[in-house]
């Protein structure tokens, strides 16, 4: 939305536009995003490694779900301590919120994973790698604005 359209928008939309505009100009928000991506990259490796180890032992969707929970738990700890540097709130409540956001991201992951494996014929691990990347924006936004706010 450009400035001219923002001025003619309803008050709530104007406030939201200004908040986003100010947020994008703060370097701390960009550093936070970089830290989130570093934690996410480590979770990505944990997720794929666990999935690789479990994939031959059980159904691939079950293996992916277990690997996802392992990686999500690791990511919660690192995001709370390092990315968002949260020293307020009750950790178990934030973890519940984090897992709720992760459940939504997991649904996206599983849908993409299933489509890539069953419909596109892609191998399990490469399909999982793509699915995780597609679901990442969902988890970042949910965690930034709800889990760790």
pLDDT value at 14 more than 80: no
Q: Collect all residues with Cβ–Cβ distance below 8 Å to 145 and sequence separation of at least 6.
A: none
What is the rounded distance in angstroms from the CA atom of residue 140 to the CA atom of residue 87? 19
114 touches 37 (CB < 8 A): no
What SS3 state is found at 17?
helix
Domains of the chain, by residue range, sit at 36-147
* Among the listed residues 106, 98, 99, 105, the one whose alpha carbon sits nearest the alpha carbon of residue 80: 98
**H/E element, 98:** helix 91-114
pLDDT value at 7 more than 70: no
The predicted model scores a pTM of 0.76
* Residue 130, phi then psi, degrees to nearest 5: -70, -45
pLDDT in tens, 25-76: 778 778 888 898 899 899 999 999 999 999 999 999 999 999 999 999 999 9
Identify the DSSP state of 59. Answer: -
Average pLDDT, the chain: 86
C-alpha distances out from residue 149 to 47, 70, 102, Å: 25, 23, 16
- Angle value at C-alpha 67, between 64 and 68, nearest 5 degrees: 85
């Amino acid at each position: 939305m450009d400035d001219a359209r923002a001025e003619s928008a309803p008050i709530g939309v104007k406030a939201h536009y200004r908040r986003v505009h100010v947020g994008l100009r703060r370097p701390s928000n960009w550093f936070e995003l970089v830290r989130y991506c570093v934690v996410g990259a480590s979770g990505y490796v944990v997720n794929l490694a666990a999935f690789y180890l479990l994939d031959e032992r059980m159904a691939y969707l079950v293996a992916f779900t277990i690997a996802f929970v392992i990686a999500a738990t690791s990511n919660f700890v690192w995001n709370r301590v390092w990315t968002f540097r949260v020293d307020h709130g009750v950790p178990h409540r934030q973890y519940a919120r984090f897992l709720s956001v992760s459940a939504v991201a997991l649904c996206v992951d599983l849908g993409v994973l299933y489509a890539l494996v069953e419909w596109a014929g892609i191998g399990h691990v490469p399909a999982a790698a793509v699915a995780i990347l597609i679901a990442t924006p969902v988890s970042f936004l949910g965690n930034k604005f709800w889990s760790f706010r």
